[in-house]
Amino acid sequence: MPFKNKKYISKALQIFKQEGLKLSLDELADRMSVSKKTLYNHFNSKEELHTACMQRMFSELKQKVEILTDDSKNAIECMREGFKGLETVLFQLSPLFINDMQRLYPDIVYSSHSSDVDFFKKRIRENIEKGILEGVYTPDIDVAFFSQYISYSVFGFYFHSVVISTDFSSSTYFNTVLEFTLKGLVSEKGRLLL
């Protein structure tokens, strides 16, 4: 993808994350300080721009989750940074943006959501296996169950609570799940790193 397209996608995505996808191309171009013609020179349609923005967002999410298996850190540090990265990406999204995506592009959202949950679950599994090898996680943990539990807890909460704006603090929830998860995973050696 050409550099200019990436620049426009980044700007548009920042706006969409806060204001949703209902903006006309005129409104979007105005907020981006470019002309509508400029957008059409880089994207064939509003839908193409939407799709490019959603792909960028899903890519950012995967990039932030990659840290869960970073070889330069121990598994506990990776878990903390992975949760923080996931939280950073998810909480930049307004409920309006998520609802617009689900309404306008249900197939893309469903497919990407399934893919993202599976990707996160795989990385959590790899993190747990890494921690067992490092001796910071208890070796008798049910890796498959724990990775599935963590994934569904995080994404289920986000999509069913934050998106519909419940009173529960999302930041508190993510930190609570993280600490609960780590306390359930760590060995005696790992407890010293908490």
**Chain segment 66-117, per-residue pLDDT in tens:** 999 999 999 999 999 999 998 888 777 777 787 888 888 888 877 777 788 8
Q: Tell me the three-class secondary structure of 55-116, residue by residue.
A: HHHHHHHHHHHHHHHCCCCCHHHHHHHHHHHHHHHHCCCCHHHHHHHHHHCHHHHHHHHHHH
Q: What is the pLDDT of residues 154-182, one digit of tens each?
A: 877 776 665 565 555 566 777 888 888 89
Whether residue 123 is predicted with pLDDT greater than 70 in this model: the reply is yes
Kindly tell me the sign of the dihedral angle through the C-alpha atoms of 155, 83, 127, 188: negative
> 9 falls in which pLDDT band (50, 70, 90)?
very high
pLDDT at 69: 95
> What is the pLDDT averaged over residues 121-150?
95
pLDDT at 4: 60
Cα 34 to Cα 22: distance, rounded to the nearest angstrom: 18
Q: What is the pLDDT of residues 51-60, one digit of tens each?
A: 898 888 888 8
Compute CA distances 72 → 78, 148, 167, whole Å. Answer: 9, 25, 38
pTM beyond cutoff 0.85: no
pLDDT at 72: 97
Burial 137-169 (b: 16+ CB within 10 A, else e): bbeebebeebbebbbeebbebbeeebbeeeeee
